[in-house]
Amino acid sequence: MLTTKGTAMIEETAKKMLKLTIDGKEAEVPEGTTVLQAARGLGIDIPTMCYLEGVRPQTSCLMCVVKVNGNPNLVPSCSRPAEDGMVVENNCDDVNDVRKTTLELLLSDHVGDCVAPCANTCPAHMEIPQMLRQVVAGDKLGALITVKRDIPFPGILGRVCPEICEGGCRRGTFDTFESICLVKRYVADEDLDSGDPYVPECEPDTGYKMAIVGSGIGGMSCAYYLREMGHQVTIFDCADEAGGALRYKVPEEECPNSLVDQELDGLRKMGVTFEMGKDIGVDLTLPQLQEEYDAVFLALGPVTQDMLQTLGVKGKDGKPTIKRDTLMTNIKGVFAGGGIVHQKQLAIRSVAAGKTAAKSMDQYVRGDKVVGRPKRFNSRSGKLTHDEVDTMMESVVNRQDRYEPQGSGTSFSPAEPRGFTDQEAVDESARCLHCDCRAKDNCDLRDFSEFYEAKQTRFTGRRRSIQTMNEGDYVHLDSGKCIQCGLCVQIAADQGEEIGLTFVGRGFDTKITAPFGKSLSEALKKSGADCAMACPTGALALRGEDPTTHNPYDLNEAPTLRGTSVIQNS
Q: Which amino acid is at 140?
A: K
Strands 468-469 and 475-478, how do they pair? antiparallel
Strands 273-276 and 511-513, how do they pair? unpaired
% of the chain exceeding 70 in pLDDT: 85
pLDDT of 564 strictly over 50: no
Task: Report residue 408's pLDDT band, with 50, 70 and 90 as the boundaries.
Answer: very low
134 vs 385, higher pLDDT: 134
**What is the set of domains in the chain, with CATH numbers?**
18-91 (3.10.20.740), 117-197+381-429 (1.10.1060.10), 209-365 (3.50.50.60)
The average pLDDT across 499-506 equals 90
Return the number of other C-beta atoms located less than 10 Å from residue 140's C-beta.
18
At 190 the pLDDT is 95
Tell me what percent of the chain is helix, strand and coil, each rounded to the nearest 5: 35, 10, 50
Task: Report residue 15's pLDDT band, with 50, 70 and 90 as the boundaries.
Answer: confident
Distance separating alpha carbons of residues 269 and 273, to the nearest angstrom: 10
Within 8 A by CB and 6+ apart from 439, the residues are: 535, 537, 538, 541, 558
pLDDT of 459 strictly over 50: yes
pLDDT of 259 strictly over 90: yes
SS3 459: coil
Task: Report residue 279's pLDDT band, with 50, 70 and 90 as the boundaries.
Answer: confident
pLDDT of 508 strictly over 80: no
Distance separating alpha carbons of residues 418 and 130, to the nearest angstrom: 24
Least confident of 157-166, 307-316, 364-373: 307-316
pLDDT of 287 strictly over 60: yes
The average pLDDT across 319-339 equals 88
pLDDT of 263 strictly over 70: yes
At 510 the pLDDT is 83
pLDDT of 240 strictly over 90: yes
The average pLDDT across 282-287 equals 87
- Average pLDDT for the chain: 86
At 419 the pLDDT is 86
Task: Report residue 156's pLDDT band, with 50, 70 and 90 as the boundaries.
Answer: very high
The average pLDDT across 358-383 equals 94
Distance separating alpha carbons of residues 454 and 448, to the nearest angstrom: 8
Task: Report residue 412's pLDDT band, with 50, 70 and 90 as the boundaries.
Answer: low
Q: Is the pTM of this model over 0.75?
A: yes
The average pLDDT across 386-413 equals 59
Task: Report residue 382's pLDDT band, with 50, 70 and 90 as the boundaries.
Answer: confident
pLDDT of 315 strictly over 80: no
The average pLDDT across 306-333 equals 80
pLDDT of 557 strictly over 80: no
554 vs 436, higher pLDDT: 436
* Nearest CA among 456, 442, 435 for reference residue 388: 435
At 407 the pLDDT is 47
The average pLDDT across 354-364 equals 97
Within 8 A by CB and 6+ apart from 52, the residues are: 487, 491, 534, 561, 562
The average pLDDT across 402-417 equals 52
Task: Give the pLDDT confidence of 75-113 residue by residue, as tens digits.
Answer: 999 999 999 999 999 999 999 999 999 999 999 888 889
